[in-house]
Chain A
């Protein structure tokens, strides 16, 4: 069992090297006996190396004979100077027992599971169950059965409905939707709800946001100016739309990595290349070359972890300490990205990152206008120079200085230095220029998207950088896939290096990543889908499938899901349908003493894990409860009003924060402008992630700042008042107020006890504390918005 310490280790349980032993070796031994070092001639990186004779003439591991194995002797030594590891905590008794057992059982040594090709496991046959079993349940029930545990019974229908609403669209069901679902006893009742939610535009807002966490989505550059990224929101809409349309995941990946290199390039695929423009960008780096490689590292880190679950970034300065990723692989990966220009250059915020996707006709009109302007400016300049040549020395000098001085002189003295024909011609040109400018203003705006608008000319090889220093290039490398996958070397197209066309390398990478044979891509995404449904992945470290990641709790289930994902044509919605239709998803979240004792962390999925709502869900639900949520989808980002004390933290208070109309401020939280140095406090208090680096799973903290925000914050107070107004608090009895507020907030009827408590609170606020009825009503509404039941999903 992998739950060592919680479920006892039976002597004859086969020990899994990958899951149980290898992580111990990596954690406790690799620092001195790993890929980098082989102290005493010993390293635990392969079977051959680990079983070889050491410098001292002994053997660390003697298969089948724990007592003769030095490894065991050293990790159990009483003498502190003998005991391994020399630094840090000694191995626990459980860990020692695992290593002893593994050696006794013959020290079987397999490769890391995630680096092996996908297996095709069939759902286990469950002899203890009759009837047809959902494939997911077969895997889960099988492992529960082996651990002697029972799956929880099904969740109550209202609980299940609330769960799936938040899960799929990030919003609560209304009370009437709950009632309808409870009343619907047809076998397809739940399925129909799932279909309705998957068809909702709000689905993409919820699931797109997961992706935005992964790709570190933000709309500004960080650093001193933290300037805005024009049209970044179109990338956000691209993501939301892709989820709504159930774009096949392989296509979704290809568009982001190589949307400009596909056979069929569209405005949408160009928008997708905004992926490369989301990172931080320093407009005045101390070391520009270092900055270029830092930006590329950001892309390698994000691409490696997000698309195929490898921490390639760990091999930037040296070979990966744990995983078989040599430093050379990092720079071979970098080579795919050589044609990426920096986000921008100081003084030109747009040329590299704004792609003009206007119609050819409109582009031509802009070009005409441009040509005309340039000609006119040239003609005007010529006549000016004729006049200037006749002017005094100091005046001539002044015209060579700044524009203001030049214009001052020209205004005062040009006409007197030209003949009348020249002057007439000059004024004619000036009028034509004015007209040209008017025309420009009247042209329909060009449509631009953020992405790769210009390329870096790739006219030199990629080098491995010694210790990661851009100033120490060493061996030459070219684009190649990580060697551990044994993929054939990509065939590079021959492309004339240019700033106008891409090097077509990224498409090769995208095709390799989305190849069904890729050992990680399908597993990584299937795991993410699982994680967003259940709160944790089958591999908990969803950005890291390497040997430092957490081993899968259900490896066969993961491979099964990965296969299903590919077979469905990489359809994310098909995966939702599969997962949501399982008993595993529909289980109750309640604890029971037996299961809690055996598996308190719920590693085996004997229950559905309850969770706190995310930052966006909390804010959106508050707006939904009082009916003021603006459910418009897509479009430019919005700016909720921030208080002066929040803005006081900026070096230019208020800078870069716009104003939105009240109804725009009530848009869903996914549309709030993400300014790196000014994350909306209501969202950051509830663990909205720092957008500078990829976020695989959000934190879930429970801290006083959250309580203060919901008790004292302006937003909460305002929304509580709207809630009171929305139920016509002024016109109704206190008990009726409670009867209306609780369904609005919690999608269920108020209980008698709640009505009694609510009435008592409202009355005592008036009688004991002297508040007005209106104020008491508002505070009651506020109190319900603070209930745990509102913030947690079963």
Chain B
């Protein structure tokens, strides 16, 4: 398959076939199924359907990639940057003081308010001497592998539109998400697993649900597949009661027998072949997906490292470990949500900042650190890009007359990246001394997206999809630079 390159043309027939999942190449199909003894030789001739291609077949990148996969740890609700990784020493002792500072959040635009001093102590860590708060004692041990982006900005401080922006680059729904773009650009190397996996908080999904992992105007092939850690990992993956694997094999064989008869006078129709192949893929997925989430083969040390043996960290630890296993099996893009539903079930600390952030950092700090450790010790961190952050940060001032709750802040916030060719021990960009807004080297969500694509070997300004008369891009029509300063 040719790279998706910059061009102004409409889809050619060939591209259309590819985009719409016109089918698998006969050669690939034959090799895929030959092992099952399913197709007799000579059943398919390669020349007949050489024009049709598996839409998720691995595709070459634009240039040599640093990262093969991405794990996006989405801190839904918006963690407070000044209480975690953006150290603001001048705020110490200012608690309760009134300051003039423009803010914009759920409560609208304000010109000032009562300072809520960061509630956790900071200390320096690693060779780089990075200041990290006591909310993340374990992640703090990895600062030399992490590039912190302190000057992030987004177009909206409201959950609904901000979630869409962080996931799809636009404040309006209907566009493909970052994971869709990655699988569209690169395909996936493991055909028995989805290329783009999303794992949700057990409580509930985030605001706007499936819109966050939608493929928008692209085919559903590129949409995120929700993976569960308990029960069947994927919707409809469990065979119904009474259908053993052998029974299902017998059924599929019988279906394919009928399909073969139907195919005989229609040998030129590669769609029929593709549908035949899709049953074999589905069959394999039923063993591949449960195997990927089955932690029985992991030793106790690993389980304990991820905090799976503790109630507080069991869920997120399990998901982090599964994320590592999925990436190890060639899944292209994995997104984990820390937090779900509403209010204090996620990082949205409007009321009691301490209660909220202690809870969510407590659930995630150890698992995230373990993930970094594990990836590194397996030599996988170099080729796995880990992204941490929420849809925005939080304000330096209090939201209400009383209490420590902070409103949303999209004028300045922190995200971080590690692995996948990203420099460690780096802090890029700053916010003002209150953390209210980005001042030095302001970054937009688009820069983050551009960096992720770039590390995967895709040119963010070239990767495009023709729709609605335009070459649509994740980063939009204007040229967007990746964040070169954090690229190793």
Contacts and interface: CB of A to CB of B under 8 A. Distances in A.
A754 interface: yes
Interface in B256-280: 257-259, 261-263, 265-269, 271-272, 274-279
A712 interface: yes
A643 B2 CA distance: 40
A649 B240 CA distance: 22
Interface stretch (A167-175, A258-266, A475-483, A692-700): A692-700
A301 interface: yes
Contacts of A757: 254, 257-258
Contacts of B214: 690
A678 B106 CA distance: 25
Interface string A195-218: 000000000000000000000000
Contacts of B377: none
B285 interface: yes
Interface stretch (A61-69, A546-554, A722-730): A546-554
B111 interface: no
Given A649-B200, A703-B221, A787 B259 contact: yes
Contacts of A650: 204-205, 209
B55 interface: yes
A764 to B, nearest CB: 6
B65 interface: no
A49 interface: no
B206 interface: yes
Given A648-B204, A757-B258, A286 B278 contact: no
A255 B51 CA distance: 44
A651 B55 contact: no
B282 A27 contact: no
Contact of A690 (B158, B204, B206, B217): B217
Contacts of A791: 275
A8 interface: no
Contact of B267 (A301, A541, A549, A591): A591
A546 B469 CA distance: 9
A5 B125 CA distance: 63
B20 interface: yes
B31 to A, nearest CB: 17
Contact of B242 (A280, A690, A771, A784): A771
A765 interface: yes
Given A650-B205, A690-B214, A782-B251, A286 B8 contact: no
Contacts of A23: 9-10
A677 B208 contact: yes
A676 B269 contact: no
Interface residue tally of chain B, by bracket? 35 or more
A792 B272 contact: yes
Interface stretch (B130-138, B171-179, B309-317): B171-179
A33 to B, nearest CB: 12
B205 A649 contact: yes
Nearest to B270: A702
A459 interface: no
A406 interface: no
Interface in B201-248: 204-211, 214-217, 219-221, 225-226, 228, 231-232, 234-240, 242-244, 246-248
Given A27-B8, A549-B10, A783 B251 contact: yes
Interface stretch (A147-155, A446-454, A519-527, A681-689): A681-689
A139 interface: no
Contacts of A223: 160-161, 164, 173, 208
User: For chain B, what secondary structure do more than half of its interface residues adopt (helix, strand, loop), or is it mixed?
Assistant: loop
A612 interface: yes
A40 interface: no
A651 B340 contact: yes
Interface in A523-560: 540-541, 543-544, 546, 548-550
Nearest to A282: B161
A758 B254 CA distance: 8
Contact of B278 (A550, A706, A764, A775): A706
A294 B172 contact: yes
A700 B20 contact: yes
A280 B173 contact: yes
Contacts of A128: none
Interface string A137-166: 000000000000000000000000000000
B281 interface: yes
B7 to A, nearest CB: 6
A702 B274 contact: yes
A600 B49 CA distance: 10
Contacts of A677: 208-211
Interface string B152-164: 0001111111101
Nearest to A311: B469
Contacts of A600: 51
B90 interface: no
B385 to A, nearest CB: 25
Interface string B91-105: 000000000000010
Contacts, number: 288
Interface string B285-307: 11000000000000000000000
Contacts of A769: 244, 246-247, 250
Given A591-B267, A761-B254, A792-B271, A702 B21 contact: yes
Contacts of B281: 703-704, 707
Nearest to A595: B268
Interface centre among B21, B156, B265, B271, by most chain A C-beta atoms within 10 angstroms, is B271
B341 interface: yes
Contact of A280 (B51, B162, B174): B174
A597 to B, nearest CB: 10
A749 interface: no
Contacts of A239: none
B325 interface: no
A680 to B, nearest CB: 11
B259 A687 contact: no
Contacts of B257: 757
A701 B235 contact: no
B88 interface: no
B236 A713 contact: yes
Contacts of A758: 254
B9 A89 contact: no
B173 A692 contact: yes
Interface string A86-111: 01110000000000000000000000
Contact of B269 (A27, A286, A610, A779): A610
Contact of A789 (B19, B234, B247, B258): B258
Interface string A310-328: 0101100100011000000
B33 to A, nearest CB: 14
Contacts of A648: 200, 204-205, 226, 228
B40 interface: no
Given A779-B247, A788-B258, A788-B259, 19 more contacts: A222-B208, A225-B160, A280-B173, A280-B174, A305-B468, A311-B469, A314-B470, A643-B235, A645-B232, A651-B208, A690-B174, A692-B172, A693-B468, A702-B274, A704-B278, A711-B279, A757-B254, A758-B254, A783-B254
Q: Which 9 A-B pairs have the closest CB atoms?
A: A311-B469, A692-B174, A224-B160, A591-B268, A27-B9, A701-B21, A286-B156, A223-B160, A707-B282
26 contacts: A27-B9, A89-B2, A224-B158, A224-B159, A284-B158, A284-B160, A286-B155, A301-B468, A548-B8, A596-B268, A651-B208, A678-B209, A687-B220, A701-B219, A702-B23, A702-B277, A707-B281, A708-B234, A708-B235, A711-B251, A712-B239, A761-B250, A764-B250, A787-B262, A788-B259, A789-B259
Interface of A: 23, 26-28, 30-31, 87-89, 222-226, 280, 282, 284-287, 294, 301, 305, 311, 313-314, 317, 321-322, 540-541, 543-544, 546, 548-550, 590-591, 596, 600-601, 610, 612, 643, 645-646, 648-653, 676-679, 681, 684-685, 687, 690, 692-694, 699-709, 711-714, 717, 753-754, 757-758, 761, 764-765, 768-769, 771, 775, 779, 782-784, 786-789, 791-792, 794
